[in-house]
Chain A
């Protein structure tokens, strides 16, 4: 079993949505630079994959590719995936506490701070502002929308703070992480790679990731296409809604295949070179 090969697909979500293309707005990286990968950090990555075979031509080890998509302006992937959901839920709980505290103050205060209706309204406005903005997400195949996450996640800025804004103005937001929804193209059609989405208990990749095993017996350069789903935040029917936007991104694998040899003899197997005692 050999080293797992990782391909990072980093998308500048905001720029890609603006230009309506991933071209020039995607940065691809892999961990095979020493093996001869080209175009790292660009949108034209050629990943070098070193296959190996035994003298009879049979494949000697399996190469496995893993794809991970990230957003340039998304929350850092090292944060637990529940970070946004927790923060959204906590803001609701905090608001309930604040309202309870306000009620206590109104009933028990000796001063006249909260006896005036205007003051109470001001305080309620402050509390409602701190709860942030709830969002919905639109279904991929229809116009129906649903809560994002279990309780409707909110909009967060790039520093991890919930934001409040009117429908006219949304400041710097943390965009949702891009998703890979399919991998297809020449390398799949020619049965060079066998990609699939796998479930994983990994807290980082939201439980799903794309991986493929590679048939390295046919050296050459092959193209493949990733279907990538981004989310655009728009104001629709009185709610902020994440609308899925689909784009495609092409990349390449360059497969070589060399024969295995014995490390001691550089040829076939022999006696171990042990000095006589």
Chain B
């Protein structure tokens, strides 16, 4: 069985910043899971996986001249809450070290089959008050 799954995201940075949203097709998430993952090409991607598999997130800007990086990936509680706060003042965020992060990790064994473990996918585009955008909708699900 494939031991690694890549979750590949493409974002239209110009459209996202213009419209102030990652929705409306501005963010597409896809994976190469050997199982039938759900909602491919949308921010509601549910990646079907198995404990012990390595998940690796990557992102690409649709217009390669525009900057975008994954700022953070935070797994949420089942009620959608999180102990990790969203930065109150995005103008304080720096972007010049974000490219050094590798977003990958191993699926833990305690995941309950059939339960969706949603995560907050935070993106940062350059710097400034509108630089931070996120979705709470993608998830991992143990088969």
Question: Which residues in A have some Cβ–Cβ distance to B below 8 Å?
Answer: 1-4, 6, 31, 34-36, 50, 52, 61, 258-265, 269-277
B residues in contact with A264, CB < 8 Å: 73, 103-105
The 0/1 profile, CB within 8 Å of A marked 1, for residues 52-73 of chain B is 0011000011001111101011
Contact B55 A272 (CB under 8 A): yes
Chain B residues near A (Cβ < 8 Å): 54-55, 60-61, 64-68, 70, 72-73, 75-78, 95-97, 99-108, 110-112, 115, 117, 126-127, 140
> A263 vs B110: C-alpha distance in the bound complex, in angstroms?
22
Q: Can you report 24 A-B residue pairs in the complex whose CB atoms are below 8 A from each other?
A: A1-B64, A3-B64, A31-B65, A34-B95, A52-B100, A61-B99, A260-B101, A261-B100, A262-B102, A262-B103, A263-B72, A264-B104, A264-B105, A269-B106, A271-B105, A271-B106, A271-B107, A272-B106, A274-B140, A275-B75, A276-B110, A277-B78, A277-B112, A277-B115
On chain A, the residues within 8 Å of B70 by CB distance are: 263
Task: Kindly report which residue of chain B lies nearest to residue A273, judged by CB atoms.
Answer: B75
Shortest distance from the beta carbon of A169 to any chain B beta carbon, whole Å: 42
A31 to B13, CA, bound (A): 15
**Is A2 a contact partner of B127 (Cβ separation < 8 A)?**
no
- Distance, CA A3 to CA B112, complexed state (A): 38
Instruction: Report yes or no: B99 in contact with A2, Cβ–Cβ below 8 A.
Output: yes
User: Contacts A52-B99, A270-B105 given; 8 further ones with Cβ under 8 A?
Assistant: A2-B99, A6-B65, A31-B67, A52-B100, A261-B102, A271-B105, A272-B75, A277-B112
Q: What is the CA–CA distance of A122 and B66 in the complex, to the nearest angstrom?
A: 57
Chain A: minimal CB distance from B107 (Å): 6
Are the C-beta atoms of A36 and B61 separated by less than 8 Å? no
B115: nearest chain-A partner, CB-CB: A277
How many angstroms from the CA of A26 to the CA of B3 in the assembled complex? 53
Chain B contacts for A265, CB-based, 8 A: 105
User: Is the CB–CB distance between B100 and A274 below 8 Å?
Assistant: no
Structural contact, B102 and A260, CB atoms closer than 8 A: yes
